[in-house]
Every structure is written in C-alpha cells, then in structure tokens.
Amino acid sequence: MPGKPKNSIIKVPPKYWDDLKKMDMKRVCERSLAISHDSGGLRILFLDKDILVDIENRCLRRIYPDRGEKIDNPLLELVILVYLLNAMPDLIRREMISVSDLKDAHFFQGPHTLKTGPVLKRFGRDIRGFKKAAESLNGEFLDLADAAYKFSPLPKIPLYYLLWEGDHEFEPNLSVLFDRSIERHLSADAIWGLVNLVSNTLLMAGDSM
C-alpha cells in the first residue's frame, strides 16, 4: 500500500468521517475531482492506486476489478480525508514553488522536515532505479535536473521530485517542489504527510525492482 508508515501512532479523528458524511457529495466531487461511487462513497486516485473512500464503513479500500481490499494506512487515510474536506475550487496554477515559498514554510523544520533523505540515499547514485520507480507510479517525466518526475498523488495536488545524481566531485541532491495552489487544498501538516507517503511509496517501488 502507498507509503504505509511503520509502527504508526497516527490517529484519524472520527470527526473527519462525521464531517465528510454530512457534506454534499456532489460538491465534494466538484471541488476535489473525486468521483462518486455506487456504494455511496468516493473514488479517488492516489498515484497508481484506485481507492474507494468507504464513508459508511469509515475506511479506505483498494479497488480491484473483482474485489475491494481494506487499506490499513492511517497516514494515507488522514491525508485523503483532509483533502476531501478542504479542497477548494482553485485549479492547478502550473507554477512550481519550493517549501521555502509556502506561507507556512516555518512548519517544515526539525521533525517536520520533508522526507527526502531516505529517497536521496536510495537513488542518489542510481538514476536508472529512480526512473523505473517513478514510472511504476505513473510519474510523468520532466526535462529538469538529471532526472525529474511529476507525481499526481491527489487529483489537484501535483508533486515534483527533482534529482541530481552524485559523482566523485558532487554529492547527490533532491528537491521536492509544489504547485502554487497546494495550500488552498492542504494544511501544512497534510502537505508534510503527503510527501512522506509519496517518498515511502517511491522507496517501496525501488526495493521491489
């Protein structure tokens, strides 16, 4: 499953499910670009995964052609719920910004530093592995850095991973960029959680190669 945290202590407030259930699903779909599902829930794509937000049973399910499989990933559940509850009508602006350009840039320090270190350690000298992992998650190749991909973890939330490969002279480097509109849809802690999820999923994809 996407970026499942180990030994997670993350708890999803029941109020989030309560609030979502009370909302007009048509409006939620219009704002978030989720799709209504026959079950009464919502269907949403996370990277390469087709996910059912099962509102009645308060859980996420992976949708397969012949079945649905419950997802046990509190961080993914939390991020998706925050997105559905808060997504605004704003469209993607197609303007890349760094974490320092966010209004809440001060949040992303110390324990909330974006999770780039493990990705850099795994792929900093393995551009080919990075490309394979990114493309397995439906990443869109960008002609930037030594290797760069646009990911679509949520319908209105693109993330951009730019990797510069290390050599005998230079250390590898990795940047995660956002669309200017991201703070219209997600709070700072949800942005941090989303990057964690995408980075974890990239690492899992790389380990499976």
- Does 192 fall in a domain? yes
CATH number of the domain where residue 131 is located: 3.30.310
118 and 78 inside one domain: no
Cα dist from 139 to 89, 113, 129, 193, whole Å:
24, 23, 13, 19
126 and 168 inside one domain: yes
Least confident of 19-28, 59-68, 114-123, 139-148: 59-68
- Does 9 fall in a domain? no
pLDDT of residue 40: 86
- Does 106 fall in a domain? yes
**Residue 164 reports pLDDT greater than 90:** yes
Looking at 67, 86, 105, which one is the last position of a domain?
Answer: 86
- The pLDDT tens digits for 136-148 are 999 999 999 999 9
71 and 136 inside one domain: no
The boundaries of the domain holding residue 202 are 96-207
Looking at 34, 53, 86, which one is the last position of a domain?
Answer: 86
162 and 110 inside one domain: yes
Only one residue has tokens 């939620």, namely 28
- The pLDDT tens digits for 17-41 are 999 999 999 999 999 999 999 888 9
- Does 8 fall in a domain? no
Rounded-to-integer distance, Cα 159 and Cα 196, Å = 12
For residue 128, the surrounding DSSP H or E stretch is: helix 127-136
The two structure tokens encoding residue 56:
């009645």
Residue 9 has, within 13 A of its CA and on its CB side, a CA count of 0
- Does 54 fall in a domain? yes
pLDDT of residue 209: 67
The two structure tokens encoding residue 169:
């002279």
In the structure, what pLDDT confidence band is assigned to residue 130 with cuts at 50, 70 and 90?
A: very high
156 and 114 inside one domain: yes
Strand ranges (DSSP E) for 86-167? 96-97, 140-142, 147-154, 157-164
- Does 4 fall in a domain? no
- The pLDDT tens digits for 80-98 are 999 999 999 988 998 999 9
Rounded-to-integer distance, Cα 185 and Cα 181, Å = 7
Average model confidence (pLDDT) across the chain: 92
Number of domains making up the chain: 2
- Does 81 fall in a domain? yes
Stretch 174-198: mean pLDDT: 96
- Does 170 fall in a domain? yes
202 and 106 inside one domain: yes
